[in-house]
């Protein structure tokens, strides 16, 4: 694990503790506002590690941390509202899981396979679109059906959508999970590979949304999940094409959310964008050792899949950065250029080819 990654994770955990008003509030109250009997028991403990004149300063620091924690909670609350069209309610009563259909692209391996498992366990009908055959782990479930579908071909998506609606009914959940990528440099990539990665990783999202969103709009109910990456925020050498597609997924999600709110006035259809870090999936099999060497242990696909499933079950839209401690990456675009370049430089050996 790199020094930058260790610092980011440690810093994230420390911030979460220090900015938790449920942690800092009682401590500040005990030092500054509590009865003398409480102070009398607490101050000697502090003076055993601090000089007595520093105790008021600690109380003041806790007061500010408490205030900042409240501000942070308010910020998260407002962000949640904004990503859900300013709706307080999740309208969970409208969602009856054994009556919902989810379309999942790339559901035959990796994160997608685990998402399919999680959804079908809740009784949700799962329509898997993939060019890989259905794995044995998903065979035998009556609420899981497989369509061999090349998502880079709009006509196949249209035909598959028609069959799904005939067999079941119009889906209320769409998970654009299919993704491909391999390390190579810009000059070396051939045009067919470039066309394919953009076709799978971003162009297919336009086609699936065009096909399934209209029925969601009619009912004013739906959840669209866009699987992006931390590469949405930070592009590095060797995977420029992949990073470009994932930055495109982020832009697509943001624009889609705006259109839902302002063009269609549909506050019942929400969007979740998922930004996992390096994850142990078939996508990175050829260079997973290099990733471990330069960036540390990979995320378990179960970790990512579980958060996706839980977000769907919450009936709320969100921006998920996984792990949460690396949320600082989303702010990278606002950093000064030398800090951005330093961050990218720490990853220079990950995709060396």
What distances in angstroms separate CA 301 from CA 60, 110, 112, 113, 305, one per listed residue? 43, 6, 9, 9, 6
| Strand ranges (E), 180-325 | 222-227, 269-276, 318-322
Backbone angles phi, psi at 277, to 5 degrees: -80, -170
Hey, which residues does 276 pair with through a beta bridge? Answer: 322
Catalytic residue flag (residue 246): yes
Catalytic residue, from 125, 221, 242, 287: name it.
242
Using CA atoms, how far apart are residues 351 and 189, in angstroms rounded to an integer? 14
Using CA atoms, how far apart are residues 124 and 17, in angstroms rounded to an integer? 36
Encoded tokens for 116: 């399919």
Hey, which residues does 217 pair with through a beta bridge? Answer: none
Using CA atoms, how far apart are residues 239 and 334, in angstroms rounded to an integer? 22
- To the nearest 10 degrees (0 to 180), the angle between helices 3-18 and 21-32 is 50
| Cα 132 → chain centroid | 24
Catalytic residue, from 246, 287, 292, 293: name it.
246
Helix, strand, or coil (residue 237): coil
Task: Give the side-chain half-sphere CA count within 13 A for 6.
Answer: 5
Closest CA to 125 of 157, 96, 160, 92: 96
Catalytic residue flag (residue 10): no
Three-class SS of 334-348: HCCHHHHHHHHHCCC
Report yes or no: 132 and 112 within 8 Å, Cβ to Cβ: no
Helix (H) or strand (E) holding 275: strand 269-276
b/e 24-48 (16+ beta carbons within 10 angstroms → b): bbebbebbeeeeeeebeeebeeeee
Active-site residue numbers?
Answer: 242, 246
């Amino acid at each position: 694990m790199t020094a930058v990654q260790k610092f980011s994770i440690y810093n994230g955990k420390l911030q979460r503790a220090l900015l938790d008003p449920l942690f800092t509030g009682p401590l500040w109250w005990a030092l500054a506002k509590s009865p003398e009997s409480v102070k009398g028991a607490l101050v000697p403990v502090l003076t055993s590690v601090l000089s007595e004149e520093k105790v008021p300063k600690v109380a003041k620091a806790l007061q500010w941390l408490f205030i900042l924690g409240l501000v942070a909670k308010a910020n998260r609350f407002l962000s949640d509202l904004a990503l859900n069209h300013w709706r307080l309610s999740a309208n969970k009563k409208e969602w009856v899981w054994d009556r919902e259909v989810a379309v999942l692209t790339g559901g035959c391996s990796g994160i997608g396979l685990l998402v399919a498992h999680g959804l079908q366990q809740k009784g949700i009908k799962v329509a898997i679109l993939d060019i890989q055959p259905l794995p044995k782990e998903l065979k035998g479930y009556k609420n899981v059906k497989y369509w061999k579908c090349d998502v880079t071909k709009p006509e196949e998506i249209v035909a598959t959508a028609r069959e799904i609606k005939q067999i079941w009914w119009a889906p209320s959940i769409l998970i654009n999970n299919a993704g491909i990528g391999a390390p190579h440099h810009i000059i070396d990539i051939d045009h067919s590979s470039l066309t394919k990665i953009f076709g799978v990783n971003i162009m297919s999202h336009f086609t699936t949304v065009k096909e399934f969103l209209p029925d969601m709009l009619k009912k004013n109910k739906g959840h669209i999940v866009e699987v992006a990456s931390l590469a949405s925020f930070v592009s590095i050498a060797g995977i420029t094409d992949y990073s470009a597609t994932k930055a495109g997924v982020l832009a697509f999600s943001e624009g889609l959310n705006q259109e839902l709110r302002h063009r269609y006035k549909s506050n019942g259809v929400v969007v979740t964008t998922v930004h996992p870090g390096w994850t142990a999936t078939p996508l990175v099999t050829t260079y997973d050792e290099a990733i471990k060497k330069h960036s540390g242990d990979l995320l378990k696909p179960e970790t990512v899949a579980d958060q996706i499933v839980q977000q769907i079950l919450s009936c709320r839209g969100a921006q998920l950065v996984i792990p949460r401690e690396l949320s600082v990456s989303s702010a990278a675009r606002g950093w000064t250029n030398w800090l951005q370049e330093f961050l990218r430089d720490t990853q220079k050996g990950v995709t060396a080819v």
